[in-house]
Amino acid sequence: MIGKRLKQLRLARGLSLDALVAEMGGLVTKQAVSKYELGKAKPTTVVLNKLARTLGVKAAHLWSEPEISVQFIAYRKGSGLPKKEQTRVEAYVKETLAERIKLQDLTQQTYVFHLPVQKILIKKIKDAENASEGIRDEWNLGHDPIASVTGILEDHFVHVLEIEAGEKFDGISAIAYDDRHKLKAAAVVSRKGIAGERQRLNLAHELGHLVLKVADDIDEEKAAFRFAAAFLAPADAIYREVGSKRSHIETGELLLLKQRFGISIQALLYRLHDLGIITDSCYKKWFIDLSRLNWRKTEPYGLPQEHPQWLRKTALRAFAEGILNKQYAEKLIKEEIRSEEPLSLVERRSFMKMTLEERRKILASQAEKMRDHYNKESDTEALQGGDIVKY
């Protein structure tokens, strides 16, 4: 077991064999670590503990059986993602999703998870439009634009993961089961550093891969794209904003619609054409103009990226409820938690005996400290087991 867990953790941390050996201070050779991963040798207790510390886990974690199994849904066809990069991405997703589920279980949030994983049958591309409407209805989203795709997905236990990857990686989706094959959670993965409009479409596209069951004679990517476009820009809302038939549409209007629906100009033009609002000639002319303006790769007025909040919010909740200790909660959110111990009765009475001016100064000082704390933004990292408060 140690070989598979060791390799998965190493890849999930983005470490090569050489890098791991360097992080360990050269305690063992690259060849030795390779033998551990292949199951041809076992590390000594000293080496095992060093490996665990370097990878940021408990030593027992390297020996334990995985508590969940992860199934990947789809890579974009023709993405050309190298096998080595694909292995690294999958290792990261497996490890991170397993850790998220631990925290999810600790805070008893799993009972609200419902997702029709690859159950919505698509026999023709237009069926994806109805599938999107069905998901929006089930999630009570109405027909207005979605302010935060990431927030909506996280609210429904579709974990949004960000990863450093090359330009050939657009995204992937995954589902996790426990040892009784009970669905525990799902994940959509997007590349860091891309424009917000592209990120939102990618996330919705991966949601499509999660829920659609596409017939063999239907292009799966086209179905997922149609689902994503309809999810972000429902037909009723588009007709209301644009009209049912247009012979021409101005640049300024497209830029306003981009801000309104949170999708790119190119995706909007696809959407307007799919819905029969603009003609073939108008559609083709616009794509000629996009090439002339050099907007095919980079559009003006890019939207800011959305950032996942579930891990940080849930870790702070777990700490507040006494489920995680302070040290580990701080490790998760990468910042100091400035929580005060409850005042004793003597301290409260002493405070109340102060003059009004003295009390105001103390409260103002505390408010200033908390303002600095809450203005901080931090990245999130995965939960490593074992740092749970015991009762």
Q: Are 58 and 2 in contact (CB under 8 A)?
A: no
What is the pLDDT at residue 179?
83
Same domain, 137 and 243: yes
Same domain, 204 and 269: yes
C-alpha dihedral, 275 to 276 to 280 to 283, nearest 10°: -50
Give the pLDDT band (50/70/90) at residue 85: confident
Q: Which of 48, 65, 82 is the last residue of a domain?
A: 65
Q: Which of 232, 263, 292 is the last residue of a domain?
A: 292
Q: Is the pLDDT of residue 114 over 80?
A: no
Q: Of the ranges 155-164, 218-227, 265-274, 335-344, which one carries the lowest mean pLDDT score?
A: 335-344
**CATH number for position 20:** 1.10.260.40
What average pLDDT does this structure show over 286-295?
92
What is the pLDDT at residue 382?
36
Same domain, 111 and 53: no
Is there a domain that residue 110 lies in?
yes
73 against 245, higher pLDDT: 245
Q: Of the ranges 25-39, 63-77, 369-383, which one carries the lowest mean pLDDT score?
A: 369-383
Q: Is the pLDDT of residue 340 over 70?
A: no
Write down the pTM of the prediction: 0.77
What is the pLDDT at residue 110?
65
290 against 65, higher pLDDT: 290
Same domain, 53 and 151: no
Please tell me the distance from the alpha carbon of residue 185 to that of residue 111, in angstroms, as a whole number. 11
Q: pLDDT tens digit string along 147-161?
A: 999 999 998 889 999
- For 322, left (φ over 0), alpha (ψ -120 to 50), or beta? left
Q: Is the pLDDT of residue 353 over 80?
A: no
Number of Cβ atoms within 10 Å of the Cβ of 379: 12
Q: Is the pLDDT of residue 178 over 90?
A: no
Same domain, 165 and 278: yes
Is there a domain that residue 369 lies in?
no
Please tell me the distance from the alpha carbon of residue 262 to that of residue 257, in angstroms, as a whole number. 8
Same domain, 50 and 144: no
For strand 171-177 and strand 69-74, is the pairing parallel, antiparallel, or unpaired?
A: antiparallel
Tokens for 202, please give them.
Answer: 């990618």
Give the pLDDT band (50/70/90) at residue 378: very low
Query: In a 10 Å sphere around its CB, with 0-12 CB exposed, 13-18 middle and 19+ buried, how is residue 200 labelled?
Result: buried
**Residue among 175, 142, 189 nearest 308 (CA):** 189
Query: In a 10 Å sphere around its CB, with 0-12 CB exposed, 13-18 middle and 19+ buried, how is residue 297 labelled?
Result: exposed
Tokens for 39, please give them.
Answer: 């199951």
H helix runs in the chain, sequence order: 2-12, 17-23, 30-38, 45-55, 59-63, 83-106, 127-138, 149-155, 196-211, 220-232, 235-242, 251-261, 265-274, 280-292, 310-320, 326-333, 345-352, 356-374
Give the pLDDT band (50/70/90) at residue 230: very high
Q: What is the DSSP letter of 301?
A: S
Three-state SS annotation for 66-105: CCCEEEEEECCCCCCCCHHHHHHHHHHHHHHHHHHHHHHH
Is there a domain that residue 209 lies in?
yes
Report the mean per-residue pLDDT for the chain. 85
Residue-number span of the structural domain to which 138 is assigned: 106-292
Q: Is the pLDDT of residue 351 over 80?
A: no
Is there a domain that residue 248 lies in?
yes
Same domain, 142 and 266: yes
Give the pLDDT band (50/70/90) at residue 252: very high
C-alpha dihedral, 1 to 383 to 189 to 119, nearest 10°: 80
Q: Is the pLDDT of residue 381 over 60?
A: no
